[in-house]
């Protein structure tokens, strides 16, 4: 063993193991060693047996960075090897996702009627839109719906007020332009437009805590070198990030930032209330 000790193996066999996600694994040639108090599983051995090791925390982080993208969308990105350290996607139901995207149960499909009345369907497709009826412009309305749903998801997760709607919308549009598009045959809008390769290394979780470095000329010797802010989005023509300074109540830009992506503004408020109570 690691401490150079020796112990006896009293038995060897196969064990059926069920994970928290309901997956059943068969662990072969498991040693029974009474002197070892903990159950130890070798990930290297699982890899040799053909099992895929999934880092759930990494999946959840990318899910939030991409603005609560659907499981299908993340699977396609992972398949194209655009998400580092992610190979298999298995998402759990998310309350923030439901806050923005929960729908009513669909009615019976109209497909059978279209199939039996092809001429009627063609005439309907060729009809012009009625004035002041944007619902007839299906493509634009579907995109508007997608943008609104993602905004709700991100505001729900970040616990930011609705006054940050503009910043959330800008970030959502950025993420959509970095996602796969069916109208572009599975390509990415930003890559088609710019001709440049796509990287997601700069992505961060919307609304997370961020510490911004304060330049020398903006502080005295005994002042803190950093100030806590909230991440709001990405700079386009200028490199850097857009953040909210809650003390001075203004939007700032910076590139010298340390992100704490697992903390949001609501977590900060609750911790401060506990400290002062």
* Whole-structure pTM value: 0.61
- Angstrom CA distances, 141 to 36, 99, 137, 185, 187, stand at 61, 20, 6, 20, 21
Q: What is the mean pLDDT of residues 2-23?
A: 73
- Angstrom CA distances, 250 to 81, 109, 240, 253, stand at 38, 49, 16, 10
Pick left, alpha or beta for residue 44 (phi over 0 → left; psi -120 to 50 → alpha; otherwise beta).
alpha
Least confident of 44-48, 109-113, 165-169: 109-113
What percentage of the chain has pLDDT greater than the value 70?
Answer: 68
> Dihedrals φ, ψ of 75, to 5°?
-65, -40
What length does the chain have? 277
Kindly report, residue by residue over 117-127, the tens digit of the pLDDT: 444 333 344 44
Looking at residue 277, its pLDDT comes to 55
């Amino acid at each position: 063993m690691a401490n150079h000790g020796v112990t006896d193996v009293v038995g060897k066999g196969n064990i059926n193991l069920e994970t928290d996600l309901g997956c059943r694994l068969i662990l072969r040639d498991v040693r029974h060693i009474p002197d070892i108090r903990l159950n130890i599983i070798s990930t290297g051995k699982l890899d040799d047996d053909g099992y895929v090791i999934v880092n759930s925390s990494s999946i959840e982080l990318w899910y939030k960075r991409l603005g609560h993208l659907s499981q299908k969308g993340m699977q396609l990105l992972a398949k194209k090897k655009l998400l580092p350290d992610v190979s298999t996607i298995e998402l759990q139901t998310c309350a923030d996702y439901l806050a923005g995207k929960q729908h009513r149960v669909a009615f019976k499909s109209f497909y059978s009627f279209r199939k039996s009345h092809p001429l009627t369907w063609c005439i309907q497709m060729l009809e012009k839109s009625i004035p002041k009826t944007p619902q007839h412009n299906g493509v634009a309305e579907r995109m508007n719906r997608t943008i609104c749903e993602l905004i709700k998801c991100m505001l729900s997760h970040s616990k930011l007020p609705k006054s940050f709607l503009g910043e959330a919308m800008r970030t959502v549009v950025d993420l959509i332009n970095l996602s796969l598009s069916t109208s572009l045959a599975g390509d990415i809008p930003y890559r088609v437009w710019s001709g440049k390769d796509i990287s997601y290394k700069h992505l961060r979780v919307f609304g997370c805590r961020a510490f911004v470095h304060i330049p020398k000329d903006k502080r005295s010797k005994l002042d803190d070198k950093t100030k806590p802010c909230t991440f709001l989005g990405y700079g386009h023509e200028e490199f850097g990030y857009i953040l909210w300074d809650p003390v001075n109540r203004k939007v700032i830009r910076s590139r010298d930032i340390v992100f704490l992506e697992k903390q949001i503004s609501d977590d900060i408020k609750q911790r401060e209330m506990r400290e002062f109570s």
